[in-house]
A and B are shown apart, each in its own frame.
Chain A
Amino acid sequence: MNSKYNEILQRVAESTFESLAFILPMPDNEGAGWPTVAVSVGFSGHFSGLLFLKVSDGILPELATNMLGLEDEQSGPSHEQQNDALKELANVICGNFLPEIAGTEAEFAVNAPEIIDDGEIPEATDRYRPVARVQLNLDSGNAELSFFAEEAINTKGIIAA
C-alpha cells in the first residue's frame, strides 16, 4: 500500500459521499456498525484494476433517499434503488480517483458496478495487487474502500505530475 494513494482515495471518497449523497465524514462513529454490503467496479485502459466499496447497511436508505430526492416519500427507497445508489456512488468514486492518480491524459473504460453477493472484499486477487485501502467514518455509518491495480502500476509512474 502507498500512503499517498490512501490519502487521495480518502479525499475523493469523502468528497463524493458529501457531494453526491450529503453524507458527511465524522471523526468517530464506532456505534454505526461494520460495513456489510459491498460493490465492485472494474476498469481498463491506461492500466486495469478494481475498486471495492463496502458500507454499513444502515447507510443504504439514506444514500438512496438523498441521491434520488425521496425525502417526502412515505415508503422509502426500494432494495433495488438502494443497491443502484451504492453502485453509482462506487462508479463516481472510481471515475474521480483514476485521473487523480493517472493524470488527465490517461483514458479508461469503467465497467458497470456489481454488487458482491457475499459482501466480502478480497484481501488479494490473482491478477491485481493492492494499491490503496481506507476506512471512512460517516454520519450514518462506516465504509471501507480497496483499490487494486495491475502490477505495472508501479513502473508506469501513474501519479500525475
Chain B
Amino acid sequence: MSLNILVVDDSAVVRTMIVKTLRMAGVPIGEVHQAANGAEGLDAIDNNWIDLVFADLNMPVMNGEEMIEKIRANPDWQDLPIIVVSTEGSQTRIERLQQRGAKFIHKPFAPETVREVVKEITGICHEQQV
C-alpha cells in the first residue's frame, strides 16, 4: 500500500526535503500534495484522498496548530495521521499537539527518525532502500 502524502510548510525547500527524506527512508509514497500554509492544507485535504499529513507550525495565513485544530474538529478527519515537523522547543506546545493525536519530529531530522515515526503512526513502512 502506498501513502498519499500532504506536506504543509511555507518553505519550498523544507517541503522538498521532507519528500526526499521519505523516499530515502523507503516509505511507500503514492501521490504527493503540497501546501504553503494551514488554509491551503485544509483545501488539499478536502479535495484529495490524504493518508498522512506533515505539517510545520509557524506559517503565514493559518499556522499548523490552528490547522490541526480544524482537522480534528471535522468528524471525517479525526483519525487522519498528522506528523508535525518543526524546531519547536516548547514542551508545553508539543504536549498540546500530542493531545490532539499529532506526532512530533524535531528539525533537523534523520531519515531513520522519519521512518520510525511514520511506521508508528501508520503501521506502514518498507525497509530502507538506500
Contact = CB atoms under 8 A, between A and B. Distances in A.
A85 B16 CA distance: 11
B1 interface: no
Interface stretch (B6-14, B25-33, B41-49, B68-76): B6-14
Contacts of A69: 17, 20, 24
Contacts, number: 67
A11 B89 CA distance: 16
A132 interface: no
B17 A104 contact: no
Given A20-B108, A68-B20, A69-B20, A105 B90 contact: yes
A98 B63 CA distance: 19
Contacts of A104: 89-92
Nearest to B59: A112
Give the residue among A64, A87, A94 with the most B Cβ atoms within 10 A: A87
A106 B93 CA distance: 9
B89 A98 contact: yes
Chain A contact patch, size range: 20 to 34
Given A67-B17, A91-B87, A109-B58, 16 more contacts: A16-B108, A20-B107, A67-B13, A69-B20, A81-B12, A84-B12, A84-B13, A91-B11, A95-B87, A98-B89, A99-B89, A104-B90, A106-B90, A108-B89, A109-B63, A112-B10
Contacts of A19: 108, 110
B46 to A, nearest CB: 25
A110 interface: yes
Chain B contact patch, size range: 20 to 34
Nearest to A45: B90
A75 B37 CA distance: 29
A100 B90 CA distance: 10
B87 to A, nearest CB: 2
Give the residue among B16, B87, B91, B110 with the most A Cβ atoms within 10 A: B87
